[in-house]
Structure 1
Amino acid sequence: MLATPGTLPPAAQDARWAYETKQDGQRAVLYLPGDGTLVLRARSGEDITAAYPELRPLGAALGRVPAVLDGEVLALDDQGRADFQLLQSRMGLAHAPGRAARMAARVPVHLILFDVPFLEEPLFTVAYRERRARLESLALNGPYWSTPGAVVGHGAEALRATREHGLEGVVCKRLDSGYEPGVRSRAWLKIRNRHAEDVIVGGWLPGRGRLTGLPGAVLVGQRSADGRLRYVGGVGTGWSEPERAELGALLRAAEAGVCPFDPVPPVANAHWVLPRLVGEVDYSTRTRAGLLRQPSWLRLRPDLAPQESAADLPEQPA
């Protein structure tokens, strides 16, 4: 069952919804036949059990009760927050069990459990509030897995708390909703916290197909404390067609033969420009290297000079 992007339910309906923290990890469904084993599958259906050997003991923890559990595999940073970049070092190792075991010792994962579509019998038509109670009654809290609580009502406060703690957002789940496998349902709503910052355009990548002749993405940076223009990522969404055409004209007028970023990013087929255009983008989080995750263009900022677009970026080797 998948969540639909949306907004908080109306205040008058707040008490009809539960709110869970949205986690930045790999969605997974666990199949536990009740014999102490488990099979872990990704959204694609791929068997990823071998990629996460530290989760195997969960099969024995549940005992002889057959179940299907829904959750998210996370890698946590030193502050206990989900770090997708860390998790990427663990993903894709389902066919390399030896390497997976070594990585498990270095970057252990943690499984967050949030639903139980099957527990001795199918629970698809059982309301979320009852499924949640049955999941919590299993007391599945161990060294590499846990069942965090959900808040009923108080959606605005829950969303604000995730924002204040630097978390990705919330998932709103209607208390009377069933479990709809394979459906992106309006009974589950996901709300991401987004951040907006000013950036300096230092280059662009040509578009393809219907975007031939136009910028497919702009390459953007921010000034570090030492004055260098540091690359923070590529932005390829957020424009209307007229806005993309206008931006293309501005970029062609600023064409330059030298990369303005220091250090030069490893981006193939880039067209470099004089770093004089300032724009505003929004994004979900930053990687540990300071790159923007899921950035989207908001607007040009002709009212700002390039030197005004500075940021507190992580230190990198010169």
Structure 2
Amino acid sequence: MTLPLIPPMLATPGKLPPTAQDARWAYETKQDGQRAVVYLPGDGSVLLRARSGEDITAAYPELRPLGGTLGATRAILDGEILALDEQGRADFQLLQGRMGLAHAPERAARRAAQVPVHLVLFDVMHLAGSLLALPYSRRRTRLEELGLAGSHWSTPSAVVGHGAEALRATREHGLEGVVCKRLDSPYEPGVRSRYWIKIRNMRSEDVIVGGWLPGRGRLTGLPGAVLVGQRDDAGRLRYVGGVGTGWSEAERTELAALLRAAETGVCPFDPVPSASSAHWVLPRLVGEVAYSTRTRAGLLRQPSWLRLRRDLTPEESAADIPGEPA
């Protein structure tokens, strides 16, 4: 028998469960990596499939020994592939250099020696038979009983209850957030389920608008995204990313008028970012954006517009750019 193909269960963005229901939930650290379903057919081999269903096994040769850890027991596991920085935290930018190499095994092997990955396991959907209908709490117990811990994989524990404390701990340690999982929830393949709730720790900072990209479709004639920057210690406006979400239709229309009034033919960023269709503006509009973290180059990840800071001038906005390379 071949193992069944099981697409991963997905979490829904939301908030912490009410305090009165806290004990009905488990809390896991939200990982910033590549989701992977792990197929162990019991013959010593391993098959890794991405969320899309793509076979990504060859991209991560250091995970092949996992195939022999359960002997002849057939299993399907759920997890996340991470690349860790020097502090042991997941760094998605590091991982990007490993992703996409499933069809280039020689390059994958070289990259594995330079940037090894770590697989975090958090669920089991099949173990000598389907476990999909079992509640999360029982699946978790079965997973932990497997004792899967090695140089390139582990099974971190989940915290039952104490959701507020768990979320606060991820913030204090600079982690992405938490995933809340109902203890009685079945595994719902391919479903974005309310049984799993993801909460991302978001930061906010002031930025200076230096340009915009035209919208398409229903946004034709309006900005599809604004290009934003922050002043470095030398006073240069350094590009930190493009922001394309967070506005209502009325706010986007208002912003379009402000951008057109500030249009100029000179790019205010130093250095000039790669944006062939950009319209440059005088750097006089200040906005507040939310974002999850920064890349090593100082770019904002997953930025979203919060508000226009009419109370601030560009000179009054925050200036320092963490992670700015020399």
| TM-score w.r.t. length of structure 1 | 0.98
Q: 1:5-24, aligned counterparts within 5 Å?
A: 5-24=13-32
What's the % identity of the aligned pairs? 80
- Alignment partner, residue 154 of structure 2: 146
Give the counterpart letter for 1:6 in structure 2: G
Shift of residue 313 of structure 1? 2.8
In the alignment, the residues of structure 1 paired with residue 141 and residue 220 of structure 2 have an alpha-carbon distance, to the nearest angstrom, of 54
Question: 1:313, 1:142 → 2: CA distance?
Answer: 34
Residue 204 of structure 1 corresponds to: 212
Counterpart Cα distance in 1 of 2:260 and 2:23:
54
**Contact 1:27 1:42 survives alignment (8 Å):** yes
Q: Is the 8 A contact 2:179 2:198 kept in 1?
A: yes
Q: Report the AA paired with residue 299 of structure 2.
A: L
Does residue 300 (structure 1) correspond to residue 308 (structure 2)? The answer is yes
Letter in 2 for 1:77: D
* Residue aligning to 2:290: 282
Matched residue type, 1:315? E
Instruction: Choose from 205, 225, 229 the match for 1:221.
Output: 229
**C-alpha separation between the residues in 2 aligned to 1:261 and 1:221?**
7
**Segment drifting more, 66-75 vs 202-211:** 202-211
| Mapping of residues 97-136 of structure 1, within 5 Å | 97-136=105-144
The one of 307, 314, 317 equivalent to 2:323 is: 314
Quick one: which amino acid aligns to residue 322 of structure 2?
L
Q: Separation in 2 of the partners of 1:23 and 1:68? A: 20
- 4+ aligned runs moved over 2 Å, structure 1: 311-317
- Residue equivalent to 2:12: 4
Opposite residue 314 of structure 1, the aligned amino acid is: G
User: What SS does the corresponding residue of 1:57 show, helix, strand or coil?
Assistant: helix
- Between 1:302-311 and 1:37-46, the stretch displaced more is 302-311
Aligned pairs for 1:1-318 within 5 A: 1-309=9-317, 310-317=319-326
Task: Give the gaps of 5 or more residues in structure 2.
Answer: 1-8
Cα distance in 2, alignment partners of residues 18 and 216 from structure 1: 39
CA deviation after TM superposition for structure 1 residue 268, in Å = 1.3
Q: Residue type matched to 1:287 in 2?
A: T
Q: CA RMSD in A?
A: 0.8
The alignment's TM-score, normalised by the length of structure 2, stands at 0.96
Q: Which runs of 5+ in 1 are unaligned?
A: none
Deviation at 1:316, TM superposition (A): 2.8
**One-letter amino acid of the counterpart of residue 282, structure 1:** A
Residue 62 (structure 1) shift? 1.9
Do the aligned partners of 1:224 and 1:313 also contact (CA within 8 Å) in 2? no
Deviation at 1:315, TM superposition (A): 3.2
Cα distance in structure 2, aligned partners of 1:270 and 1:192: 30
d(CA) in 1 for partners of 2:141 and 2:218? 51
